[in-house]
Structure 1
Amino acid sequence: MKNKELLKIVGYFVLICLSFYIATRSYFEDKKIQTICWIVIGSRNVYDFVRRIKNSKKEEYERNSDNHAE
């Protein structure tokens, strides 16, 4: 795994944690619309994060299978 990829993973993880932290804080301050918005943002970040991990594993698998085929 390259350092750049690791930095992207850490960045996404921080974004996810931050968005759910803000959503929780907004919930306890009775700001329902803001809470819903931050939950949607956090969920989208989780979706992108999982999609990136799946794509990177798929690319790695294809790269390894190409090396074994030769």
Structure 2
Amino acid sequence: MTIVYDRGFNLNEWFVIILSITGLILAWRFRNRFSAKELIVYFMYGFFIGTVFDHIIGIAPFDFYDINDSSLYELTDF
């Protein structure tokens, strides 16, 4: 089976950028409701959960997908 990787900057990368900016805007809007420590913990928790589950479904025996455009890590993977 041949794996075809996308080589361009496309909708996948824009989706990551837009969600990141949206999250930062929401954090800024709710800065009076949550303390800075709480916001940091929420962002770290989201990052941790996303990373753990990406790795769980991306390794053997599952190996469901390659992250983003190639099997190598890129800047947008972090």
- The alignment's TM-score, normalised by the length of structure 2, stands at 0.40
Greater C-alpha radius of gyration: 1
Q: Which has the higher contact order (CA 8 A, sep 6+)?
A: 2
- Higher percent of residues as helix: 1
- The alignment's TM-score, normalised by the length of structure 1, stands at 0.43
